[in-house]
């Protein structure tokens, strides 16, 4: 791991209204999950936010749980946490790719999700990334979600709208006439 490398970190966003996030964790590797959770909680609290925590059986269930929560609750954003360590079969690629792809698709639909599901070759790599004094990827995932929430709030009231306007509301920009 390139621990000695310097990386730029965006300043922590600030919020005028409280933020509430759901941390969804697959605790298959409990010690690693606990470190990721600790980092995520600390980052959310440092931004003045609150959090709830749920556990699911595995990384593939994390996106499903977030989808359910988004339809049935009032969270501003989500932190996806877990760890997938390469084994002897191709199941590793399936779990890594499908969980990541599902989270990305939900993000493209407007959900504010920080992806902290580690995909590593071995336990040492996982520990280095999860440890709150080293990689702190749990905090990084929470920070990503917080930044996306800040962007959503910044642009949420823009009133731009999407799609087509009803015929009677569509006006020609250079004369105010109704388009025929």
Q: Looking at the annotation, which residues are catalytic?
A: 91
C-alpha dihedral sign at 120, 57, 112, 163: positive
What is the DSSP secondary-structure string of 83-150?
A: EEE--SSTHHHHHHHHHHHHHHHHHHTT--EEEEEEEESSHHHHHHHH-TTTT-HHHHHHHHHHHHHH
Contact 56, 103 (CB under 8 A): no
Q: At 89, list the tokens.
A: 């079969």
Cα–Cα distance between 63 and 56 in angstroms, integer? 10
Q: Which residues contact 10 (CB under 8 A, 6 or more apart)?
A: 143, 147
């Amino acid at each position: 791991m390139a621990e000695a490398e310097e990386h730029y970190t965006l300043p922590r966003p600030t919020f005028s209204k409280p933020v509430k996030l759901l941390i969804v964790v697959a605790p298959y590797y409990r010690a690693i999950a606990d470190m990721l959770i600790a980092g995520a909680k600390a980052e959310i609290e440092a931004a003045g936010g609150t959090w709830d925590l749920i556990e699911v059986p595995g990384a593939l269930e994390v996106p499903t749980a977030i989808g359910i929560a988004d339809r049935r609750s009032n969270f501003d954003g989500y932190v996806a946490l877990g760890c997938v360590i390469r084994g002897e079969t191709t199941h590793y690629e399936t779990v890594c790719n499908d969980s990541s792809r599902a989270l990305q698709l939900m993000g493209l639909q407007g959900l504010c999700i920080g992806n902290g599901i580690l995909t590593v070759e071995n336990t040492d790599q996982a520990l280095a990334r999860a440890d709150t004094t080293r990689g702190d990827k749990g905090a990084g995932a929470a920070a990503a979600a917080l930044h996306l929430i800040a962007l959503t709030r910044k642009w949420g009231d823009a009133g731009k709208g999407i799609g087509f306007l009803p015929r009677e509301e569509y006006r020609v920009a250079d004369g105010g006439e109704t388009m025929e």
